[in-house]
C-alpha cells in the first residue's frame, strides 16, 4: 500500500454512525454522520425494532455516500478502520464487523481503533508527527487529562470521577430550564453575565491530583434554585447564573490543565472533544498559553464532536507505524487510553 492510499473509517461507538474518507496526511475527502432522526424518517417514524438496529441500517448507505462524495471507489482504498471501543457493544459491533468485511473483501489492512485516541489526535489533523504534549479531552461522555508522547503513546494523568464536563453543562442547563443542547445555551447566555456573582463549588480544585468531579455542581445548583426561585427571571439573573456555572466548570478545567502541563515539564497543550467549542474554555486556554508561553492546539469545530475523520487520521498513524489489526480481534467496550494500547 502506498503511504498516500485513501483510508476509510467508520465510527459507531454510541448513538450515531459516521463514515469518512481521508487522503493522508490531512485531506478529509468526506465526513458524514447519520443521525437517528434521519434513519427514523426513512422508515416513517420511530419503529422500535428498526431503531434498535439503527447502526446496521445506516452503515452501508453511509459508507457508499462517503465514498461517492470523496470520489473514490473501494479499489482505491488502502485500509479500512473502525472504532473498537470504548462504547456501546451493539453499536461498536456493527461498525467493526462492517469494516472487517470490507477490508477482507478488498484484501487490505483493517484497523481496530480507540475512540478516545481519535479525539486525542484530532487537533493535529494533517501532521505527520504528533508532538509531546498534555491533552485535555472534554465531551459529554469523557473528561480526562492525558500525556501524549506521540501517536500511540499515552499516559492517563487524571479523569472525572463522576460526571463529564459536557454532561455538567447540559444537566445544569436543564435545571435552569434552558433548551437542549444546554451547554451551548449556557455558553451563549453567559456572554452577558457576571461570572463572580454566585459561587458554585469547584470540586477537587485544591486536591493534589489531576482528577475532576462535577456531580456536586448539579446538586448545588438544584438547592440554589430552590432557595432563590425568582432569581433566574430577574434582570441579568439568568445571564449571571450561566456565567457563574460556566466559571465553576471551566475554572477547574483550566487550573488542572495548567497543573498537568507544569508537572509534566511540557510547553504544549491540546484540547479535543465537544466542549472544546466552549468559548470560555477556548479563551481561557488561549490566555493561559499566551501568559505561560505555551503552544495551544485546537481542533476545527467539525472535528471536535464525534466524527469518523479523526478515526481515519488515527488509522494513518497506526499504518505509518507499521501496525494493523487482525480481523479476528473483538470489540472492546471498556477500552481506555493509557491502558491497553
Partner 1 sequence: MATDNAVTSEGSAVVQSLEETRELASRLLPLMRKAGSVSLEGPLGAGKTHLVKAVASLLGVTEPVSSPTFTLLHSYSSGAYPLHHSDWYRLESEGEVLGLGLEEYLGEGVLLIEWGDKFPSLLPKDTLRIRITPQHDESRQIQWTLKP
Q: Which residues bind partner 1 (CB under 8 A)?
A: 14-15, 36, 46-54, 86-91, 139-142, 159-164, 166-167, 171, 174-175, 211, 215, 218-223, 226, 333-334
Which residue in 155, 153, 130, 135 sits closest to 145, CA to CA? 135
Please measure the distance between the N-terminal and C-terminal CA atoms of the chain and give it in whole angstroms.
24
Sheet holding 268-272, edge to edge: 153-159, 143-150, 133-138, 268-272, 295-297
Nearer to partner 1, 206 or 226 (CB): 226
SS3 state of residue 20: strand
Largest CA distance in the chain: 65
Residue 116 C-alpha cell reads as 478516545
Please, are residues 46 and 63 in contact by the beta-carbon 8 Å criterion? Answer: no
What does the H/E/C string look like for 73-131?
Answer: CHHHEEEEEEEEECCCHHHHHHHHHHHHHHHHHHCCCEEEEEHHHHHHHHHHCCCCCCC
Which residue in 260, 324, 310 sits closest to 115, CA to CA? 310
| Strand pairing category for 27-34 and 77-85 | unpaired
SS3 state of residue 163: coil
User: How remote is the C-alpha of 64 from its chain's centroid?
Assistant: 25
Amino acid at each position: 500500500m502506498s503511504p498516500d492510499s485513501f483510508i476509510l473509517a467508520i465510527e459507531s461507538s454510541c448513538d450515531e454512525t459516521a463514515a469518512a474518507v481521508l487522503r493522508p496526511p490531512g485531506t478529509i475527502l468526506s465526513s458524514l454522520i447519520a443521525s437517528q432522526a434521519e434513519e427514523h424518517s426513512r422508515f416513517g417514524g420511530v419503529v422500535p425494532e428498526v431503531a434498535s438496529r439503527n447502526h446496521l441500517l445506516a452503515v452501508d448507505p453511509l459508507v457508499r455516500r462517503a465514498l461517492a462524495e470523496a470520489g473514490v471507489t473501494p479499489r482505491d482504498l488502502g485500509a479500512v478502520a473502525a472504532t473498537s471501543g470504548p462504547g456501546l457493544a451493539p453499536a461498536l459491533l456493527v461498525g467493526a464487523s462492517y469494516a472487517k468485511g470490507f477490508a477482507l473483501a478488498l484484501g487490505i489492512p483493517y484497523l481496530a481503533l480507540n475512540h478516545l485516541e481519535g479525539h486525542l489526535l484530532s487537533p493535529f489533523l494533517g501532521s505527520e508527527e504528533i508532538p509531546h504534549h498534555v491533552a485535555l479531552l472534554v465531551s459529554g461522555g469523557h473528561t480526562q487529562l492525558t500525556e501524549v508522547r506521540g501517536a500511540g503513546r499515552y499516559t492517563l494523568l487524571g479523569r472525572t470521577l463522576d460526571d463529564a464536563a459536557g454532561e455538567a453543562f447540559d444537566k445544569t442547563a436543564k435545571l435552569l430550564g434552558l433548551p437542549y443542547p444546554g451547554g451551548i445555551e449556557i455558553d451563549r447566555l453567559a456572554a452577558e453575565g457576571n461570572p463572580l456573582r454566585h459561587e458554585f463549588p469547584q470540586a477537587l480544585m485544591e486536591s493534589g491530583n489531576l482528577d475532576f468531579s462535577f456531580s456536586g455542581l448539579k446538586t448545588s445548583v438544584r438547592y440554589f434554585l430552590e432557595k432563590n426561585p425568582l432569581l433566574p427571571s430577574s434582570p441579568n439573573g439568568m445571564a449571571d447564573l450561566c456565567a457563574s456555572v460556566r466559571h465553576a466548570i471551566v475554572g477547574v478545567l483550566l487550573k488542572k490543565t495548567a497543573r498537568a502541563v507544569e508537572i509534566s515539564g511540557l510547553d504544549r497543550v491540546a484540547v479535543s472533544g465537544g466542549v472544546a467549542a466552549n468559548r470560555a474554555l477556548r479563551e481561557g486556554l488561549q490566555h493561559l498559553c499566551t501568559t505561560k508561553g505555551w503552544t495551544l492546539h485546537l481542533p476545527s469545530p467539525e472535528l471536535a464532536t464525534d466524527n469518523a475523520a479523526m478515526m481515519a487520521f488515527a488509522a494513518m498513524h497506526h499504518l505509518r507505524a507499521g501496525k494493523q489489526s487482525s480481523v479476528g480481534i473483538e470489540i472492546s467496550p471498556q477500552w481506555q487510553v493509557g491502558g491497553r494500547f
